[in-house]
Amino acid sequence: MPEDTVVRDTVEELRALLGEGEEDALRIFLRLIRPEDIADWLEYLSPDERQKLLSVLDNETAGTVLDDTTPSIRAELVEEMEPERLARIAETMPLDEAADLIGEMEEEEGKEVLQHISSGDKEVLRDLLEYPEDTAGGIMNPDVVALPPDATVDDAINVLRASDENTVTAAVYVVDANRRLLGVVRLRRLVTARPDARLGDIMRTDVISVPVEADQEEAADIVEKYDFLAVPVVDRAGRLLGAITVDDILDVIEEEATEDIYKMAGSSAEEEESESIFHVARYRLPWLLICLGGTQISTTVMGMFAGRVPMYDRISIFAPAILAMGGNTSLQSSTTTVRRLALDTLPRKRYPAHVLREISVALLMGIACGIVEAGAAFLFHGDPRIGLAVGLAMSVGMSAASLLGAAMPLILNLVGVDPAVASGPLVSTINDSLGLAIYFTVATLIMISM
């Protein structure tokens, strides 16, 4: 049976139980389902059904469901819940996830939830909420196993056994009396060492850590590069504050990819969390106004050549083809460049070679497309000058568009601006005006000289 059919049937059974109001039967049914699957199914339920479902879940399961569902559904559920219930749920979650949950609330609501949380976790959560959400401090889990160098392997294993499931157990961190990070002992090394061996004797001292104020992308790059399950986070004095685990890194990768996709479309990832059409329009409208200004420039360019290019009316009908091919070529070059920058596979010394490669590829494709378009123009008009003008302009225009698409992300990256912006309306707007100027300039030169 197809998976979507199974999901649909299960959701229908779930909705029937919600409608019948049989809480005991509903609890038994939900115990047979993983919380992650429940989170996926929330989108098929109405707001009232979601609230009923969450009300019968235990706090730990509810925490997993809230963490795994979409931001919009989570915000809707949290808005209707009592602060005390939210506090109980937050206490079952890893501290970094609990901080994310509270951080998404309105400030006053978040403070009210914190008041109901036990004093120990409350202070830690307040500290976590002070860090910007897109930094290492904003995504780290402060629950780590940290022991002095004279502790034994047996001591470390006993601490690991006693730790709860929310503690980072990928490694044991060795710290001094001031909690400065001295070394790390991975689990494999720990379980293969003698029980009486001191951690200071078996630890690795070449520890790779992340500053607490570092951007989350930096932490993601380190985990990906070294295949870590977790990376420690330290302050400026080298004191251990927590660790970032690989599941947090997966969330970062998804978040950063989503952010880049929105930027390439001339929007913002924040619109995903908004139900207001005015808020969504606020994110999209500025770029559209830039595009509108660009079209006015393109119109001006066409107007400038209208009375100067022989047979303007016959030539101008090919302008959309010139713009479309230039736009597609520019998009290919910019997307390739942005992707290589994101993966850090394009060192600065290779920038010129990369741009030259993109221009060469575009020129080759431009010649091929130009020959085809020149033939079409000649068949349509019977004038070889028009075919030559269209074909040559397309070749030059596609090369120029590729230069723009490849160079713009590199320039933005050099000046500290997110290069993903270069794949959006900004390049498209510049490219249209440039393409028209090239086309009519080439056409004018050919018409005058032949």
Residue range 338-376, pLDDT digits in tens: 888 877 788 889 999 999 999 999 999 989 988 888 888
Residues 6+ apart with CB under 8 A from 9: none
Residue type, 220: A
The residues spanned by each domain of the chain are 3-139, 144-245, 269-449
In this chain, the answer to whether the domains covering 3-139 and 269-449 adopt an identical fold is: no
Tokens representing 216 are 């989350």
pLDDT in tens, 175-185: 999 999 999 99
Residue 309's alpha-carbon distances to 49, 184, 447, in angstroms, are: 67, 73, 8
d(CA 437, CA 427): 15
Buried-exposed string 320-351: b where 16+ CB fall within 10 A, e elsewhere:
ebbbebbbebbbbbbbbbbbbbbeeebeeeeb
Tokens representing 333 are 């070059």
pLDDT in tens, 100-159: 999 989 888 999 999 999 877 888 899 899 999 889 999 999 999 999 999 999 999 999
- Tell me what pLDDT residue 2 has: 45
Residue 195's alpha-carbon distances to 154, 176, 198, 199, 301, in angstroms, are: 5, 21, 8, 10, 79
Query: According to CATH, what is the number of the domain 3-139?
Result: 1.25.60.10
d(CA 388, CA 450): 11
d(CA 75, CA 374): 57
Average pLDDT rounded to a whole number, residues 229-256: 90
pLDDT in tens, 143-154: 999 999 999 999
Residue type, 65: V
Indicate the fold that domain 144-245 takes in CATH.
CBS-domain (3.10.580)
Structure-model confidence comparison of residues 241 and 383, the more confident one: 241
* Phi and psi, residue 171, nearest 5°: -160, 160
For the whole model, what pTM was predicted? 0.66
Q: Tell the burial category of 196 from Cβ atoms under 10 Å away from its Cβ (0-12, 13-18, 19+).
A: exposed
CATH superfamily, with its number, for domain 269-449: SLC41 divalent cation transporters, integral membrane domain (1.10.357.20)
